[in-house]
Amino acid sequence: MDRRTFIKLTAITGTSATLASCGNPENQLIRFVPAEDIVPGIAVWKPGVCPLCSAGCGLTVRVMDADAEVVRDGQAGVVRIAAAKKLEGAPDHPVNHGGLCARGQAAIQIAYHPDRITQPLRRAGARGEGRYEAVSWEDALGEIVSRLDALESAGNQRAVAYVAGSGRGYRSALVRLFLSRYGAPGPMAYQLFGDEVLRRANALSFGREQLPTFDLANARYVLSFGADFLGTWNSPVAQSVGYGLMRQGRPGIRGAFTQVESRMSQTGASADEWVPIKPGTEGVLALGLAHLIMTARLHPAAAAGRAGALIDGWSTGLATYTPQEVERVTGVAAARVERLARQFGDTRPAVAMVAGPPLAHSNALFTALAVNALNALVGAAEQPGGLFFTPQIDVAAAMKISGPVASPAPAIERLAAEGLSGTSATQLLFVDGANPVFTTPRAWRVREAFEKIPYIASFGSFLDETSILADLILPDHSFLESWTEALPESGAVEAVASVAPPVMRPLHQTRATPDVLLEVGRLLRRPLELPWQTFDELLGASLADLPSASGFGAWTDAQETGVWSGTLPAGLAVAEIADASPAPAPVAFAAPEFDGAADEYPFHFLPYSSNAFLDGSLAHLPWLQEMPDPLTSAMWSSWIEINPATAERLGIGTGDLVEVASAHGTLRTGVVISPGIAPDLVAMPAGQGHRTFTRYASGRGESPVDLLAPMTEAATGALAWAATRVRVTRVGPPDGRLILFAAGMREHLEEHR
Amino acid sequence: MCLVAFAGSVGCRWFAPAPSTSDASAPRLPGQSTGVFTTARPTLAAALNDFFGRRPIADQPLEFPHDVHVRLEIKCTEYCHESVTTGPVAGLPSVSTCMICHAAIATDSPRIQQIAALSEKGIDLQWTRVYGYAPEAHVRFNHAPHIRAKVECATCHGDIGGQTIAQRNVDLNMGFCVNCHNANKASVDCLTCHF
C-alpha cells in the first residue's frame, strides 16, 4: 500500500465512522430561569457531613455552576445550578482534621448516580419484579397517611415496623420520636458488622455504652486484637490521623504497634508485629498478658477496678492463665506471650483495642471484657495515650422532648421469625437506609418474612434487595441536597455535632425523609405531637442551648463551619452509667462455638468488612468498584483468601474457581492466595453479590453472607458472623471472574505458570 | 471499508464483560435517564465545522438590540454581563435580569412582551454563545484580570454598539492574544493560558 492509498483509506474510514456515530440531533431542551445567583466559573466551598459511615466526618464541598437536566411542572429542560463537584475533608473538623477516606471521596457519585430514584414510585408489577410507576408526592403521602390512620383506628399501631441503618443523631431521634408518638415499636437498627458487643462491654467496664476514642497521637504502644482501625472500623480517618502522629509526629519517638488477628487486614499490614491466633481465643491472650503483668508486679490487680471485677479469677491474679495454658488455647507461643506482656506492661502509655472478628464469636463479650480489663490494669482509660469516651449530646434533652423518646425495638431476626410463624402480623414496614435482605444471614429468612408484610414503604434512593419489595418508594434527598447531621460517637476528645445545610438544590423530585415524617405526622387524622415544621427547625432548636465560641449561637456557627465542638453544659451530656447493683457475675472463658462439624467443614470462614463497600451498602459506586483492594489488588469482583500451604494441599492456584460451602449455603468464586492468613481459615470480603443494586453492582461477585450460620453471641444476642465453618472444593481453572489490578487474569496466570 | 467502520462502531458491545449471576439485574425505573449514548455534536456538519474552527453566524432566540442599550449608555458590565469582573466568564443574563428594568420600561414593545411572558413561565432564553473555546482547544480565558488591566471590551468584541445581535467580528486566535500580551507586557508563558 502506498502513502496515497493509505491516506485515502484513512479518510474513508474516518468519515464512515463519523457517519455511523452521528445519530439524530438531540431534542432541543428548553432552558429554565436559574433559581439562584451563580457566578459562572467560580468555585465556592461549602460545609457538608459525610453520610457513608457513623464516623461523621466533616466535608468541604466544591460547588460550581453546571447545567442540569430537570423536570419542572412536567416539562423537561435544562437549568443552570450550583452543583457539588468535589468532596474533601473539612480542615478544621475535630474528627477528621482535613482527611477523607476513599469511600468518602466517592460519596459524590451518590448524588449523580444514573440509577438514582428520581421521584415517588408505586409498585406496578408483582413484588420483587421491579416494575414501578410514577406517582405524585401528594398521592404517595396520602397513601401512607390513610394506611397509618386505618391501623390507628383499629388500635393496631404496633403493627408498624421501621427498619433503619445505624445512626445516633437527630435524624434517627426524630424517627424514634415519630414511632413512639404514633404508638409503634422503635426502629430496628441492624448492622452486619455492628459493635453492640463492644458497646455493652464498655458499659459494663467503663460505664459508657459507646465506642472508645483512642489517643493514638500520644501512645507509645498499641496492641490491637483484630481491630481494622486504619481501614473500616469505628472512625478510620480520625484513627489514621492519630496513627500517623504516633509513628512520625514526635521527634525521636516511634510508637510500636502489634496486631493480633488470624487474617491480615489492611491495618495488620501496617503493624510492626503480626500475631496470628486461633479464632475466638483473643480474650485468653489478653488475660494471659494481664496475668504476667500482675505477676511481675508492674501493675496491681486492684488497678483495674470495676473492669477487672468483671473477669472471673482477676483478684487472685488469673492464676490459670499461665503462658503455657495460653499457648495451648490460643496457639501463640508461650515465649511470645511473655514478650508481649513485657512490652505492654513496660511501655507507657500503652493501649489495647479490640473489634472486628474477635467480637464476632459466641464468647465475644468475654473477649471484649478481657481487653477492657487489660486496658484498665495498665491505666489506659481516660489517660493521654490511652482510650477516651467522646462526651455525647443527650439528644432527647437537646430536642426538649417530654415523655418517652423511644419504645423498645425488636431484633430483626425476631420480627422475621414472628412474621413467618404468624404470631405477630406486621402490617406496614418502613425501610430507611438499610438493606437487611442483603445483610442478614439467609437462615433468618428476612426476605420471606418481608414478602408476607402487606405493605412496605421505602425511603431509599436506589433499588436494592430490600426496597425492590416495597409497594411505595418515597426517595430521600441525597446528602448534598438536604440538611445533614451526625453526632460522632468517637474520634474526638470533646463533644462534636456535625451539622450542614444543603449544598445544592435537589436535582430530582425527591424529598428529605425527616421532612416527610414531619409532614405525615401533621396529616394524620390524630396529628402527632411533633413541635417542628421542618428538620432544620428541629436542628436549630436542638443546637440552641450549646455554648458558642463566636457569640452568634452554636446554630449559626455550625451552619457556617459545618460543625459544633466544645464542652457540653450540664444536663445536655449523656451521663455515665453507674455501677450495676448487684454487681454482674464475673465471666470466664468459654470455648467459642462454631456452626458445622470440623471433619465435614474443615475451615473457619471469616467474612470481613470490605475496604471499598463496607457491608455492601457502597457497592453501587463505580469509583469504589474500580478501587483495588489494598491487600489483594482485586477490583470489580469478589474472592476468597486462602493460605499458600492449604492451597497447595487442595491443588488450588490463584484465580481458580472454587466452591465454598457451609451448612447454610454454597457459593462459587475465585481464589487469592495470601500468606497473611491462618492455614485453617478462609476469608472473604463482604459487599459484592448483590442481585439488585444498580447497574454497577447487580450480579457482580458473591456475598459471604449467603454462607453465614445464624450463630449469636451468647450474652448479647448479636450476630456471631465469624462462627461459621466451611469446606472448599476446587471446581475449575480461572474463568475471568477475579479481576486483579493491572493484570488481566489470563496474562497474570501465563506469567506465573 | 464500511464493514470496518460498522465493526468499529458496534464492536465494543460484543466484548462487554458479562456479569457472573445471570438472573440479577437493575430494573429501569420511571424518571431515570435512558442511558442512551448521544454524540458530542448533533450533526456531521457541526462536527466538521467544529474541527475546522468554522463558526456559523450566531442565531439567537431573540434579536437583542445591543445598539439600543449601548446608545443609552448602559455599561456592559453593570447589569447584564456582571460576573465579568469577578470570574472567568462574563455571563449571559437570564430573563429575570431583563425584567429588572423592563418590568417598567418599554413594556409595549413586542420583544419585551415576549420576554415578560417567558419570565412568568420561568423559562429562560436559549442564547447561543458567540465567543468562547471548545474544550479540545486546551486554552482557558479569564475575563476578570483583563478587566482589571483596563482592556476595553471592544478590543476583543469589536464595536458592539453598531450591532444588534453580537457577532464574532474579531478572530480570537492565538496570534491575536500573543500580540496584545506582548504589546502590554503581559506574560506570554505557555501556562498563562494553557493549563
Give CA–CA dist B5/A684, Å, rounded.
Answer: 44
C-alpha cell at A262: 488470624
Cα separation, A19 vs A531, in Å, equals 63
B186 to chain A, closest Cα gap in Å: 22
Residue-wise burial string across A142-169, b where 16 or more C-beta atoms lie within 10 A, e elsewhere: ebbbebbeebbeeeebbbbbbbbbbbbb
Cα dihedral sign, A76-A77-A82-A88: positive
pLDDT one-digit tens code per residue, B180-191:
999 999 999 999
Of A311, A301, A309, the C-alpha closest to A367 is A311
Mutation target among A1, A22, A37, A509 for the B interface, most CBs of B within 10 A? A22
Indicate if the pLDDT at residue B41 is higher than 90: no
CA-to-CA distance for A301 and A682, rounded, in angstroms?
A: 38
Burial class (CB in 10 A: 0-12, 13-18, 19+), A610: buried
**What is the identity of the amino acid at A713?**
E
DSSP state at residue B162: G
Given pLDDT bands bounded at 50, 70 and 90, which one contains residue B17? very low
* 3-state DSSP assignment of residue A689: coil
Listed residue (A55, A45, A50, A177) closest to A496, CA to CA: A55
pLDDT at B25: 63
Residues A524 and A651 in one domain: no
Element (H, E) at A342: helix A334-346
Confidence grade of residue A429 (pLDDT, cut at 50, 70, 90): very high
Which residues of chain B lie closer than 8 angstroms to A744, CB-CB?
A: none
Contacts of A121 in chain B (CB under 8 A): 29-30
On whether both A630 and A712 belong to a single domain, the answer is yes
Final residue belonging to a domain, choices A111, A145, A174: A111
Q: Within this chain, do residues A230 and A376 fall inside the same structural domain, yes or no?
A: yes
Residue A129, chain B, CB below 8 Å: the answer is yes
* One domain, residues A94 and A243: no
Question: Across residues B40-67, what is the average pLDDT?
Answer: 81
Enumerate the β-bridge partners of residue A221.
A256, A350
Q: What is the CATH number of the domain that holds A501?
A: 3.40.50.740
Which band of pLDDT confidence, cut at 50, 70 and 90, is reported for residue B36?
low
pLDDT score at B178 = 95
Cβ-Cβ contacts under 8 Å for A300 (sequence gap 6 or more): A294
- Identify the three-state secondary structure at position B160: helix
pLDDT at A711 over 90: yes
- Weakest mean pLDDT among A599-613, A731-745, B65-79, B160-174: A731-745
Contact A361, A713 (CB under 8 A): yes
For residue A276, give the nearest of A720, A684, A677, A680 by alpha carbon: A677
Q: In this complex, do A33 and B123 lie within 8 Å of one another by their Cβ atoms?
A: yes
Contact B87 A692 (CB under 8 A): no
Q: Quick check: A524 and A19 in contact, CB under 8 A?
A: no
Q: Which CATH number belongs to the domain containing residue A98 in this structure?
A: 3.30.200.210
How large is the ipTM?
0.75
Cα–Cα distance between A86 and A276 in angstroms, integer? 40
A620: pLDDT strictly greater than 90: yes
Residues A36 and A141 in one domain: no
Query: Which range is least confidently modeled, A402-411, A423-432, B54-63?
Result: A402-411
Residue A143 near residue A516 (C-beta atoms within 8 A): no
Radius of gyration of chain A measured on its C-alpha atoms? 27
**Which range (A10-19, B3-12, B87-96) has the least confidence?**
B3-12
pTM of the entire predicted model? 0.88
Instruction: Note the pLDDT of residue A20.
Output: 52
Residue A589 forms part of a structural domain: no
The torsion of the CA quartet B3, B5, B10, B16, rounded to 10 degrees, works out to 100
With an 8 Å Cβ cutoff, is A117 touching chain B?
A: yes
In a domain, A201, yes or no: no
> What does the mean pLDDT of chain A come to?
92
Q: Which three cell numbers stand for residue B36?
A: 442512551
- Same-domain status, A129 and A175: yes
Strands A132-134 and A121-123 come out as antiparallel
What's the rounded Cα separation, in Å, for the pair A91 and A59?
8
In a domain, A1, yes or no: no
Nearest to A438 by CA among A664, A611, A687, A155: A687
A26 CB near a chain B CB, below 8 Å? yes
Q: Which residues contact residue A26 at a Cβ distance below 8 angstroms, ignoring those fewer than 6 apart?
A: B38, B42
In this structure, the answer to whether residues A376 and A271 fall within a common structural domain is yes
Return d(Cα A700, Cα A621) in angstroms, integer. Answer: 13
Q: Coil, strand, or helix at residue A71?
A: strand
Last residue of a domain, one of A354, A388, A422: A388
Sign of CA dihedral A266, A267, A272, A276: negative
DSSP letter string, A32-60: EPPSS---TT--EEEEEE--SSTT--EEE
Verify that A435 and A486 share a domain, yes or no.
Answer: yes
Label residue A748 by pLDDT band (50, 70, 90): low
Domains contained in chain A, number: 4
Strands A30-32 and A75-89: parallel
**Does pLDDT of B13 surpass 50?**
no
The fraction of chain A above a pLDDT of 90, given in percent, is 78
Nearest-angstrom CA–CA distance, A595 and A136: 49
Other beta carbons less than 10 A from residue A444's beta carbon: 23
Tell me if chain B has a CB within 8 Å of the CB of A181: no
- Mutation target to probe the B interface, by most B beta carbons within 10 A, among A5, A7, A21 is A21
> Which phi and psi (to 5°) does residue B147 adopt?
-65, -40
Nearest residue to A202 (alpha-carbon basis) of A369, A392, A388, A383: A369
SS3 B161: helix
Distance (Å) of CA A69 to CA A75, A442, B27, B120:
11, 41, 22, 20
Task: Classify residue A743 by its DSSP letter.
Answer: B
We report the CATH number of the domain holding residue A276 as 3.40.228.10
- Phi/psi at A212 (nearest 5 deg)? -80, 160
CB contacts of B2 in chain A (<8 Å) are 16
Q: Which residues of A536-554 are buried (b: 16+ CB within 10 A; e: fewer)?
A: bebbbbbbebbebeeeebb
Q: Is there a domain that residue A580 lies in?
A: no
Q: Decide if A577 is inside a domain.
A: no
pLDDT digits (tens, 9 = 90+) for A93-132: 999 999 999 999 999 999 999 999 999 999 999 999 999 9
pLDDT at A26: 45
- Cβ-based neighbour number of residue B18 at 10 Å: 8
| Sign, CA torsion B187/B191/B192/B194 | positive
> What pLDDT band is residue A743 in, cutting at 50, 70 and 90?
low
- Cα→Cα distances A13→A7, A9, A25, B2, B6, Å: 10, 6, 22, 7, 10
**Which pLDDT band holds residue A579 (cuts at 50, 70, 90)?**
confident
What average pLDDT does the structure give for chain B? 81
Flag whether A449 is in a domain.
Answer: yes
Average pLDDT of A181-197? 92
pLDDT at B18: 43
Q: Which residue has the higher pLDDT, A6 or A404?
A: A6
Percent of chain B with pLDDT over 70: 83
For the stretch A653-697, pLDDT in tens is: 999 999 999 999 999 999 999 999 999 999 999 999 999 999 999
A432 and A496 within one domain: yes
Domain boundary among A388, A422, A438: A388
* Nearest CB partner across the interface for B5, out of A16, A25, A119: A16
The more confident residue out of B12 and A241 is: A241
- What lies within 8 Å, CB to CB, of A307 at 6+ separation is A204, A205, A206, A369, A372, A373, A375, A376, A377, A381
Together in a domain, A484 and A346: no
Q: Where residue A609 sits, what CATH number does that domain have?
A: 2.40.40.20
Neighbour count for residue A13 (Cβ, 10 Å)? 15
Q: In this structure, what C-alpha cell is assigned to residue A643?
A: 493460605
Q: Please report whether residue A437 resides in a domain.
A: yes
Terminus-to-terminus CA distance in chain B, angstroms? 39
For residue A284, what are the domain limits?
A: 213-388
Amino acid at A748: H
Calculate mean pLDDT across residues A281-294.
Answer: 96
**Count of all residues that appear for chain A in the document:** 753
Judgement on whether residues A240 and A181 belong to the same structural domain of the protein: no
Test the A interface: residue of B124, B125, B142, B146 with most A CBs within 10 Å: B124
Report the C-alpha gap between A650 and A729 in whole angstroms: 8
Q: Is the pLDDT of residue A237 over 90?
A: yes
Contacts of B20 in chain A (CB under 8 A): 699-702, 737
Q: pLDDT digits over B96-154, tens only?
A: 889 989 989 888 999 899 999 999 988 998 888 888 787 777 898 999 999 999 999 89
- Whether omega for the bond prior to residue A582 falls within 30 degrees of 0, making it cis, is yes
B87: pLDDT strictly greater than 90: no
Classify strands A681-685 and A665-673 as parallel, antiparallel or unpaired: unpaired
DSSP string, A222-270: EEEES--TTTTSSSHHHHHHHHHHHHHSBTTB--EEEEE-SB--TTGGG
Q: What is the DSSP string of B136-152?
A: GG-----HHHHHHTT--
| Ranges A178-187, A326-335, A592-601, B6-15: which has the least confidence | B6-15
d(CA A399, CA A539): 8
Residue B35 region by backbone torsions, left for phi larger than 0, else alpha for psi between -120 and 50, else beta: left
Asked if residue A183 is part of any domain, the answer here is yes
Question: pLDDT class for A177, splitting at 50, 70, 90?
Answer: very high
| Whether A707 and A611 share a structural domain | yes
**Chain A residues within 8 A of B79 when measuring between CB atoms:** none
Q: What is the mean pLDDT of residues A565-569?
A: 91
If you ran DSSP here, which 8-state letter would residue A642 be given?
E
Q: Which among A23, A34, A114 is the nearest to B33, CB-wise? A: A114
**pLDDT above 70: residue A184:** yes
More confident residue, B97 or B40: B97
Phi, psi of A631 (to 5 degrees): -100, -30
Contact A165, A171 (CB under 8 A): no
**Residue A172: pLDDT above 60?**
yes
| SS3 state of residue A582 | coil
DSSP secondary structure of A279-312: TT-HHHHHHHHHHHHHHTTSS-GGGGHHHHHTBT
Strand partners, A667: A660
CA distance A219 to A386: 7
User: Is the peptide bond preceding residue A349 cis, with omega within 30 degrees of 0?
Assistant: yes
